[in-house]
Amino acid sequence: MNFKKYILAVSVLTTGMIACGNDNFNGGDPIKPTNPTSGDVKIYTTTSSMSHDFEKTFVNFNKTTSMSPKTIKIDESKTFQTMDGFGSAITGSTAYNLLKMSETDRAKFLKETFSPTEGMGQSYIRIAIGCSDFSLSEYTLADKPGIENFALQEEELKYVIPVLKEILAINPDIKIMGSPWTPPTWMKVNNLTDLKPHESWTGGHLNPKYYQDYATYFVKWIQAMAAQGINIYSITPQNEPLNAGNSASLLMFWPEQQAFVKTALGPKIKAAGLTTKIYAFDHNYNYDDMPEQEDYPVKIFQDPAAAAFFAGSAFHNYGGNKEELLDVHAKAPNKDIVFTETSIGTWNDGNVLGKRLTEDMREVALGTVNNFSKAVIVWNLMLDSDKGPNREGGCQTCYGAVDISKADYKTIRRNSHYYIIGHMSSVVKPGAVRIGTTGYTDSNLTYAAFKNTDGSYAFVITNHSGADSFIVLEDGKNNFGYTVPSSSVVSYTWKK
């Protein structure tokens, strides 16, 4: 699959887009493959220069044993976490932009993104429960006081759910996670001492007297989505519980989240017969050095009654270092870790593939997986060329995994986050186990190996140097060589 061919077929670059040379709006003729169209090993290659644009090629096994000092050996005796999947967020803004496309163009883009057999095979989606900072308005699912007033709103019914149904038709097994940015404002108080009403979208705390109602809110949402044919695989109790400044937000320190899940959310989900997983925290490795952040999920898990309701913890990377995942895993090895949000934007040259591709692969995709994350989900799948739609008070400088031109709703720029997720999801399938490697290492190479449920191997590598790097991969029976281009990401899959 070569995405340049798709863009050439469905879009004509406008003068304005051509002027944005550093924006990497893809166009032109596809790169001619230099390898056979079939072989023992399937390979996807993307370079920062776009000389290879998720180019699919093949190589055959060598007929002799490798004596190369640059041999990386697959070691199945070392096993780590089982993978849940890789994907992106279908926010209200993403759904709105997708539905502005023609039906034909949207169907082709969604197939290339989500199809396990004809595309990248993205396998995990995150959506908001109510509004987020990338919604068309600020709302919850029960703005009128009283849990009996719960109902799905226009954004779900008109935008998000129709898009999810189209994706599920392509990939019925895709996992979906839900996260709220705020509860209904009538459930909020200024703090847990004064307990004064806090009728604001931003900040405040959840009033303990509404724990049961808010837990019912989650259950009703999961059931309402199920009635639409959409299974909710997992939830987090609160998006960024230490960030009171988002356009819609709530402070929920770890004792509050522990008490809410232990006394209300966990029991309500269990009583309803639901299997939806609950993940704690859903925030940064380190948020402004707040003492409330340190060991947030670990402290929750120290209460066995509360820990029983949590599958694990979720993380973002807007502060701190991915090494935090190793610390959490060491302290709570029986709990899962998932990575649920990261964004690119004007602050990090997010639309310049040459600057972002290998760094994001090293730090986000491979970095979190090598630190025991079972899933990697990036933020908005699609924003428009004005970085929207977005909400005042939220991120107004973010780019999407892809950005679509508002001039025609056809021209698409694929950014680093689209490629890093695609390079993982195309070869590492849900249920795969991360396995060990031995042998050749290089500080300019970051990689991970996996074994899929069908017995095939997957290996993903990024070369973040300015020079090509030759490697040999060996699985104990077969081996093959490949030159990893400079500043590139390469994914391999083969059967032993």
> Which pLDDT belongs to residue 291?
86
Is the confidence at residue 16, as pLDDT, over 70? no
Peptide bond between residue 267 and the one before it cis (omega within 30 degrees of 0)? no
> Which pLDDT belongs to residue 37?
81
Tens digits of residue pLDDT in 34-61? 456 899 999 999 999 999 999 999 999 9
Average pLDDT of every residue of the chain: 93
Is the confidence at residue 489, as pLDDT, over 90? yes
Tens digits of residue pLDDT in 239-274? 999 999 999 999 999 999 999 999 999 999 999 999
Of 319, 414, 427, the closest CA to residue 365 belongs to 427
Is the confidence at residue 369, as pLDDT, over 60? yes
Where do the structural domains in the chain lie, given as residue ranges?
A: 31-70+433-495, 84-425
> Which pLDDT belongs to residue 436?
98
Average pLDDT over residues 486-493: 98
> Which pLDDT belongs to residue 496?
85
> Which pLDDT belongs to residue 23?
35
Contact 343, 300 (CB under 8 A): no
C-alpha–C-alpha distance, residues 329 and 298, integer Å: 9
State residue 414 phi and psi, 5-degree precision: -95, 120
> Which pLDDT belongs to residue 36?
67
Residue-wise burial string across 338-354, b where 16 or more C-beta atoms lie within 10 A, e elsewhere: bbbbbbbeeebbbbbbe
Q: Does domain 31-70+433-495 have CATH number 1.10.150.120?
A: no
Residue 352 to residues 14, 24, 180, Cα–Cα distance (Å): 19, 7, 31
Q: Does domain 84-425 have CATH number 3.20.20.80?
A: yes
Helix (H) or strand (E) holding 9: helix 3-10
Q: If pLDDT is split at 50, 70 and 90, which confidence band does 132 have?
A: very high
